[in-house]
Copies of this chain bind each other. A is one copy, B any other.
Amino acid sequence: MKTIIEKYGHRRVTVVEGGITRHRSIFNGLKVFAEKEFSSHLLQKPEVVIIHDAVRPFVEEDIVSKVVMAAKEHGAAGAIRPLVSTVIASAADGCLDHSLERARYRASEMPQAFLFDIIYEAYQQCTDYDLDYGTECLHLALKYCKTNAKLVEGTTDLWKVTYKRDLYAAESIIKDNLSQRVCVITKGKESLAQVGFLLPESLKNQIKVEAISVSPSKNDSHLQNIISGQCYNFVCVNDKRCAIQEIQELVDMLEKSNTPLLYPVVLISVHLDISENNSFSIGMEDITTIKKFARETKKKNILVYGLLIQYKDPLLLQETVNSAAALIMALIKDRNPELIGQLLVA
């Protein structure tokens, strides 16, 4: 935990030791504000505290602000969701006793927010039994402070990452979020102009595209803006077989921007082959060079792939470009670290 805070440079975070149950951990967190003396004014007693579960990583700012506003008015507030299954009570013999009318009930989710004085009071008053077997903070506020929490309808994003399948889902959602934008950089050479135009057009059907037709250089403020705007996908179109130098410049810019710190960046080097030689071939040295380079940049959380577009028959160019766009989308969506340094052919 402390390593994570350091790595990402968080300044307003204090880690508090957890307890053996959920309620004891939350109580430990609250005590920090009430009992200890802190030099930093950032840890003074707050008006409202938010309680959230780390296993609900996709929480939106909107619901957080809604529960905070509701807590200011009502003393307590929490996100709710419709029940997905009927809730039933079982008898002692393991048979159905009765089922609840689904429409009357809701699932209590997180985040929840409280006036600090209310939730701290509730935790101070509650019993060891509450602390050891309870899980619901809204219940404590009701029981010990007579505070009926305001219930705020939340979105499906609040789901708990609980099972292995949820990890799969979380990974796919993150990859999906990272695959919304791509920046296509074309070197301003005439031979590339056609592909530099057709490729972004073909990609636009599937992803938001920002096309730049200059060379990446340290003075390019447009590219610099895109990078700081947290774009996680870059396509460099060039006519060299092995454009390590061009890509290196982009890698340097990305590294400086801290973008790859949070999520892996995909960087696809597209080589346009305009030789009219039919017996064209890929030399093993080129392949080895790209692989070595990709292995190095992977350490910086930048995933480099190579893609070759053959420009033989002008009539087939559109088809080849579409096939290149499909490969680019597959590489962006998968972000597969095992395939780095490979040279695909469109």
Contacts and interface: CB of A to CB of B under 8 A. Distances in A.
Given A156-B163, A345-B291, A95 B107 contact: no
A338 B327 contact: yes
Interface residues of A, number: 73
Interface stretch (A28-36, A39-47, A81-89): A81-89
Contacts of A229: none
B330 A339 contact: yes
Contact of A97 (B85, B100, B148): B148
Interface stretch (A9-17, A196-204, A280-288): A280-288
Nearest to A168: B172
A344 B345 contact: no
A338 B332 CA distance: 12
A138 B334 contact: no
A88 B80 contact: yes
Contact of A148 (B85, B96, B139, B330): B96
Contacts of A291: 345
Nearest to A139: B99
Contacts of A343: 345
Most buried by B among A80, A87, A89, A280: A87
Interface in A266-319: 278-285, 287, 291, 310
B104 A89 contact: yes
Interface string A140-179: 0010000011110000100110110110111111000000
Chain A facing B: main interface SS: mixed
A150 B130 CA distance: 31
Given A150-B94, A150-B95, A105 B87 contact: yes
B342 A338 contact: no
Interface in A103-138: 104-109, 135-136, 138
A293 to B, nearest CB: 14
Nearest to A287: B345
A131 to B, nearest CB: 16
A248 interface: no
A88 B74 contact: no
Contacts of A345: 284, 287, 291, 342-343
Contact of A282 (B139, B173, B281): B281
Contacts of A287: 282, 345
B336 A135 contact: no
B102 A90 contact: no
Interface string A324-346: 00110110001010110011110
B151 A88 contact: yes
A329 B337 CA distance: 12
B160 A84 contact: yes
Contact of A338 (B149, B150, B280, B326): B326
Given A88-B108, A99-B139, A165-B173, 10 more contacts: A74-B95, A86-B135, A88-B138, A99-B142, A168-B168, A279-B285, A281-B284, A291-B345, A330-B336, A342-B344
Closest A-B pairs by Cβ, 10 of them: A168-B172, A330-B338, A165-B169, A85-B107, A95-B148, A281-B281, A169-B169, A86-B108, A96-B149, A86-B136
